Structure 1
Amino acid sequence: MIISGVTNAASPSDSPAAVAPLENEDAPAPAEEEPAEEAPAEAATVQSWADDSFGTFAPVTQTGTGDNLVTIPAGATAGIVTATHDGGSNFAISVLDASNASTGQLLVNTIGRYTGTSAFGFNSLGDGTTLEISADGKWSVTIAPVSAAPTLLASGAGDRVFLYEGPAGKLAATHAGSSNFAVTEQTGEDFSFGLLINEIGAYSGTVPLSSGPSVIVVNADGQWTLKAE
């Protein structure tokens, strides 16, 4: 008996087996994604520096007539005092400690009407707790944190307090008054008190200025100009 041979040949309709592509060993590896850089922290402002250096508290205002005492807010080691007076005689503001002893800070000492801003708590002989008011007329006093002071102005009149955040350089100043003209700079560091100018009457000159952040206090009875260069 003859048996026909059986073959395993694929039919024309069968699909060929898929072949995996060869990897190119010379191809560069895909670059790894670099982590996104974090945005730098926002630079501290001169106001936040003042709060960190000298503390902060809610401003207080008190008015009166004649001699009186004004309590400095609890915990306020330094601050600015904006005062007015409409009398015709001596008007003075000094800072006392908890024992009612002088801290060596005479913020205001003038005759007659007054409007100005001064600073307390810098290089004092003790911690101030009370403002002693000597007056013959009506007065007002506002005690605020150092950070409430404006940034340095180019011109003004009378007593003022400013914040400065520029580089070290020169301070060109003029004064058209007849009494004491003093400019000081306080950086908040120990022994950093700088008496830049201390003259009587008219003044024109240029003095060295430390880099900020700092507090600049102007004591004057007339018009003045200040230019940081």
Structure 2
Amino acid sequence: MRLRVLAVLAVLVGTFLAVPPQAASAATTYRGEGDDVIRIPVTTQPSLVKATHRGESNFIVWALSTSGKQVGLVANAVGDYKGTVAFNTISRQKVRSLEITADGAWTLQVLPLTKARYWAINAKGEGADVLRLTAPLKAARRITLRHAGESNFVVWTLDNRGSTTKLLVNKIGDYRGRVLLPAGTRYVTVEADGAWSINRG
């Protein structure tokens, strides 16, 4: 009987250890209203924050280090907001918390950078977003960018590791222009307050 119990325990332990760490925990959505500080699993990797806010005043989100220092501005808007932003793309910090300033209800979801929206060089969106190619770009490619808005339109490229590589656009208001997407690009981050598009050529 004792041998049978030990055998069952061995099977259970083996099954548990065989489960990949990432499969054991699903992405968590944090919800709140007004100012708050939420603790997230510590990460030093480039990551995503999907955020929403329903309010009339400032909505500001900072990534905080383990010592409480502000190390990455995730969101900075007035009123309603919906967007996806990357952090830890310039310098790798040990992020432990998110600090929220808000006057209304909000949601935050923290995800790996690899969960960014798939991108096939042609894309449309509105507001902040992060796009992902299936693989790093092998050769430089010309793209056309458009933005219809009143505030900042900022586009950065990231490499396969999620590190910032090149500033493509930094304008205010409506924009249309052609830029060169450099070889090695895997991700693109978009900061915008209006509708935008990215197209080949």
TM-score (norm 1): 0.70
Identity of aligned residues (%): 36
AA aligned opposite 2:123: A
Matched, 1:66 2:34: yes
Matched, 1:182 2:154: yes
Once residues 92 and 163 of structure 2 are traced to their aligned partners in structure 1, the CA distance between those partners, rounded to angstroms, is: 13
Deviation at 1:129, TM superposition (A): 1.6
Q: Equivalent residue for 1:220?
A: 192
Moved over 6 A (4+): none
Q: Is the 8 A contact 1:59 1:145 kept in 2?
A: no
Q: Equivalent residue for 2:12?
A: none
Q: Matched residue of 2:114: which SS?
A: helix
AA aligned opposite 1:123: I
Structure 2 alignment gaps of length 5 or more: 1-21
Shift of the 127–141 alpha-carbon distance from structure 1 to 2, 3 Å rule, reads: same
Q: Is the 8 A contact 1:58 1:144 kept in 2?
A: no
Once residues 200 and 192 of structure 1 are traced to their aligned partners in structure 2, the CA distance between those partners, rounded to angstroms, is: 21
Q: Is the 8 A contact 1:175 1:224 kept in 2?
A: yes
The answer to which structure has the higher helix fraction is 2
Q: Is the 8 A contact 2:113 2:162 kept in 1?
A: no
Q: Equivalent residue for 1:102?
A: 70
AA aligned opposite 2:48: I
Deviation at 1:84, TM superposition (A): 0.5
Once residues 70 and 78 of structure 1 are traced to their aligned partners in structure 2, the CA distance between those partners, rounded to angstroms, is: 18
Q: Matched residue of 2:149: which SS?
A: coil
CA deviation profile, 1:172-209 (whole Å, cap 9, x unmatched): 10100000000001104697521111101111001110
Moved more, 114-123 or 70-79: 70-79
Q: Equivalent residue for 2:128?
A: 159
Q: Is the 8 A contact 2:51 2:108 kept in 1?
A: yes
Q: Matched residue of 1:72: which SS?
A: strand
Question: Considering only aligned residues, what root-mean-square deviation do their CA atoms show, in Å?
Answer: 2.2
CA deviation profile, 1:80-107 (whole Å, cap 9, x unmatched): 111110011000111111110111x211
The answer to which structure has the higher strand fraction is 2
Once residues 180 and 126 of structure 1 are traced to their aligned partners in structure 2, the CA distance between those partners, rounded to angstroms, is: 26
Q: Is the 8 A contact 1:163 1:213 kept in 2?
A: no
Aligned residue runs from structure 1 range 199-210, under 5 A: 199-210=171-182
Q: Equivalent residue for 1:42?
A: none
Q: Equivalent residue for 1:11?
A: none
Q: Is the 8 A contact 1:169 1:209 kept in 2?
A: yes
Q: Is the 8 A contact 2:44 2:93 kept in 1?
A: no
Q: Is the 8 A contact 2:46 2:112 kept in 1?
A: yes
TM-score (norm 2): 0.79
Once residues 170 and 70 of structure 1 are traced to their aligned partners in structure 2, the CA distance between those partners, rounded to angstroms, is: 41
Q: Is the 8 A contact 1:63 1:141 kept in 2?
A: yes
Shift of the 177–188 alpha-carbon distance from structure 1 to 2, 3 Å rule, reads: same
Q: Equivalent residue for 1:122?
A: 89
Structure 1 alignment gaps of length 5 or more: 1-54
Moved more, 120-129 or 55-64: 55-64
Once residues 176 and 92 of structure 1 are traced to their aligned partners in structure 2, the CA distance between those partners, rounded to angstroms, is: 23
Q: Equivalent residue for 1:4?
A: none
Once residues 174 and 108 of structure 1 are traced to their aligned partners in structure 2, the CA distance between those partners, rounded to angstroms, is: 22
Matched, 1:150 2:117: yes
Q: Equivalent residue for 2:9?
A: none
